[in-house]
Chains A and B, each alone.
Chain A
Amino acid sequence: MAEHLLEVKGLKKYFRLGRNQVLHAVDDVSFYIDEGKTFGLVGESGCGKTTVGRTIIRLYDADEGKVLFDGMDVHKLKGKEYKQFTRKMQMIFQDPYASLDPRKTVGAIIGEGLKIHRLCKTKQEYTERIYELLEIVGLSREHANRFPHEFSGGQRQRVGIARALAVNPKFIVCDEAISALDVSIQAQIINLLVELQEKLKLTYLFIAHDLNVVRHISDDTAVMYLGQIIEMAETNELFNNPMHPYTIGLLAAAPEADPDYERSRPHMLMSGEVPSPINPAPVCRFSSRCPHARLKCTEEAPELKDIGNNHYVACFKIQEGWV
């Protein structure tokens, strides 16, 4: 038994776009998740969150680095071992309208994993299991013969969760699992995920761009910027004591629910645009937008370092104590 359930070490995923053009989607990302915990991964669109999730579950092959799951190197699994792995790690997708095959009934969608892994011996057992899964996610058994287009977004996402649960996974990658839903439905799905985590002892990698949701659900949180983790800490620590200028800006940009507070609080606006992830220079990637950037930031790339209290930051200003 390994120390951590999932350990990502120096993961790199590049997409070749053409001659001499390499998109650094994920550039040297490392983190670990302990069993039963939820790890939040936040960042703006295009920063590589989804690619991290998809590389971990081996929808993409890693260019460099390792993903250790339960002590096994995910990208080296073959045949039977890989099939076993697909039972242990599952994924919930972002778009509940695209993640269900429009030509199949909900029962068949949920039952796909059961069939692939031959988890049910008899036809009756199979149907019973599908009914059970539907009820676990808060749908009723009559829904088994319906088609995805007959459901609302929230219901579809429940079907997606049931499909992931069908094979009894230990680990679930939630790739923006709630971003496409209405706020009221988001709460329902989050509560369902939390409830399931307690009941089934699940571990989550929770990828999102909604900071409040991540704060609510995660034990640890990492912030990504342009393919790299720039800050990582225990969730409360990160939100109460953000260090990296980008994290501070990100937290300041998120609106507060209380309108009086929202109006009175200081707003720090980040200037500039996210630079292109194609062939980035080996410098601090935030330096082009950072109000504290100095010469060193445009010459070297800072490493992610523990500054105490398990709070990791990749910023020279913090690491060297610039004023």
Chain B
Amino acid sequence: MSNIPIDLPKDAFSHMNAGSTESEIITRPSITFWADARRRLFKNKVAMIGLSIIIIITMLAIFVPIFSQYSYTKQDLTNTNAPPSIEHPFGTDSHGRDLWVRVWVGARVSLAVGIFGSVIPGIIGVVIGGISGYFGGKVDMIIMRFIDIVMCVPNMIYIILITIYIGTGPVALVIAFALTGWMGTARSVRGMILQLKEQEFVLASRTLGASSATLIFQHLIPNTLGIVVVSMTMGVPAAIFQEAFLSFIGLGIAPPIPSWGQLANMGISVFRVYPSQLLIPAVLISVTMLSFNLFGDGLRDALDPKLRM
């Protein structure tokens, strides 16, 4: 530290007003939480590529079967196992059915099972986890111990047992997923609610005389929604894969209704001669799962309040 006196005249200084109002002005435009999340999601290129692929696949699944001249059941035994051509872009299968149509009808089934098989258990999980976390005590004890016990056995075993019991088909699969898939969500929602209900903003609402319904629907659920949406999005590829796996081993979707897993099952029998019949559904399953995972990742980053700028 130097102690050399610096020659500064007194009149070089002037009083500055505290100006408390000016320094407190917020210049950033006001945007809602969801608008902010959307803005960040749209900036994420990888997530946007994932979303575009999901949209393209969904569009093809909706429109190809409507506008194609072939139906997914119509057989043409004079033209079996045809290679891809202009007439049949993905070729035909061993019964002479057009694979282009069958793949996109299969996409409908796979996507529907994937989405409903993730969203429905998600909703059940939110409700049960919410009840468990909010009311606590004995209710919480019973629900959590039940989940602990049920989760000891792998999900797939329950699903196989349920499909054997109630039969095959898309609806049966969704029911099986709904009965087995809610537990993970319930656990994480319970954890979040337990944490949130001790937060001061919830206490503040209670001191204002808010009812349980107000607390749950106005404060607790909106604050868990982000994470729930992400977990549902990440659940879609898992459900698509489970469906494909079950159909592949012959337990999920029964012929003649196609699904990607079932098409792969058909393709494996002729894999050595006509590899495209296995590769096409397999690639579609992989690409769709990857897209959902990438999109889910982006969504998680966008909804994470800690990354908010």
Contact = CB atoms under 8 A, between A and B. Distances in A.
A99 to B, nearest CB: 4
A83 B210 CA distance: 9
Given A98-B201, A101-B201, A86 B26 contact: no
Interface string B62-81: 00000000000000000000
Interface stretch (B28-36, B106-114, B168-176, B253-261): B28-36
B204 A160 contact: yes
Contact of A147 (B32, B201, B206, B219): B32
Contacts, number: 75
B17 interface: no
A294 to B, nearest CB: 42
Interface in B6-39: 24, 26, 28, 30, 32-33
Contacts of A117: 208-209
A163 B204 contact: yes
B250 interface: no
Contact of A151 (B26, B203, B205, B214): B26
B207 interface: yes
A57 B207 contact: yes
A12 B280 CA distance: 71
B223 A98 contact: no
A87 B208 CA distance: 7
Contacts of A4: none
Given A98-B201, A100-B201, A102-B223, A150 B26 contact: yes
Contacts of A91: 203-204, 207
The residue in B26, B208, B218, B219 that gathers the most chain A C-beta atoms within 10 A of its C-beta is: B208
A290 B298 CA distance: 59
A64 interface: no
Contacts of B222: 101, 103
A112 B203 contact: no
A93 interface: yes
Nearest to A87: B209
A158 to B, nearest CB: 10
Contacts of A57: 207
A119 B208 CA distance: 12
B305 interface: yes
Contact of A149 (B204, B206, B208, B308): B308
Given A101-B219, A155-B24, A116 B203 contact: no
The residue in A98, A101, A109, A151 that gathers the most chain B C-beta atoms within 10 A of its C-beta is: A101
Contact of B203 (A93, A147, A167): A93
Contact of A116 (B26, B30, B200, B209): B209
B230 to A, nearest CB: 16
A59 B208 CA distance: 11
A289 to B, nearest CB: 31
The residue in A93, A94, A109 that gathers the most chain B C-beta atoms within 10 A of its C-beta is: A93
Contacts of A83: 209
Contacts of B219: 101
A254 B33 CA distance: 43
B3 interface: no
A165 B121 CA distance: 43
Given A98-B199, A98-B200, A167 B208 contact: yes
A246 B205 CA distance: 37
Contacts of A116: 208-210, 214
A93 B209 contact: no
Nearest to B308: A149
Top-9 shortest CB links A-B: A86-B209, A99-B200, A93-B200, A113-B208, A101-B201, A98-B200, A103-B222, A83-B209, A91-B207
20 contacts: A86-B207, A86-B208, A86-B209, A90-B207, A95-B200, A98-B200, A99-B199, A101-B205, A101-B222, A103-B33, A103-B223, A112-B208, A116-B208, A145-B30, A146-B26, A147-B32, A147-B33, A149-B308, A150-B30, A152-B24
Interface of B: 24, 26, 28, 30, 32-33, 199-201, 203-210, 214, 218-219, 222-223, 305, 308
Given A59-B207, A101-B205, A149-B305, 5 more contacts: A98-B199, A101-B223, A103-B33, A143-B26, A151-B26
